[in-house]
Amino acid sequence: MQKIFLSSKIHRATITSKNLEYEGSITIDSALMRAAGIEEGELVQVVNVNNGNRFETYAIKGEENSGIISLNGAAARLGEVGDTVIIMAYAIFDVNEPHIPKIVFVDSQNRIKIN
C-alpha cells in the first residue's frame, strides 16, 4: 500500500515580501529549497502560524542566500510581511519504505540553523 507522507519542510520561515500582481506561487531562497529537497514548480503546502491560513501553491526559486520568502498572486492575501510560515512538501511512499522527512530550521533572517 502507498500513502502520502511529509517529505520535507522549511520550519518557521519569515515572509519577507508579497506581490499581489504576480501570476501566483511562493518564491523561496534557492539555498533553502535545495536543503529541503524542494524542486522548482513542486507543489507545497504553506501554513501561516500567525493567522492559521493554510494553502497550496508551487515553489519558485529565489536568489540564493537572499532569505526571500515571497507570497505571490492570490497567496499574497494570505499573509503579511513578518508572518511566520511552515512550508511543506509531500511524496507518495510505500508504507514499508523508510520515509524520514528533511526538516530545515531557519532563524529570523531565513538562514539555515546549524544544529
Where exactly are the structural domains of the chain? Answer: 2-105
Q: Say whether pLDDT at 24 is over 80.
A: no
User: What pLDDT was estimated at residue 77?
Assistant: 96
DSSP code of 112?
A: B
Beta strands in the chain (DSSP E): 2-14, 17-19, 25-29, 43-48, 54-62, 69-72, 84-94, 102-105
- Higher pLDDT, residue 31 or 98: 31
Q: Say whether pLDDT at 12 is over 80.
A: yes
Q: Say whether pLDDT at 114 is over 90.
A: no
Stretch 31-49: mean pLDDT, rounded?
98
Residues 72-106 have pLDDT tens digits of 999 999 999 999 999 999 999 999 998 999 999 99
Q: Say whether pLDDT at 115 is over 70.
A: no
Fold of the domain spanning 2-105? Barwin-like endoglucanases (2.40.40)
Residue type, position 11, single letter: H
Spatial distance between the Cα atoms of 46 and 73, rounded to a whole number of angstroms: 14
Which residues are marked as active site?
25, 58
- Angle (CA) 97-99-101 rounded to 5° is 170
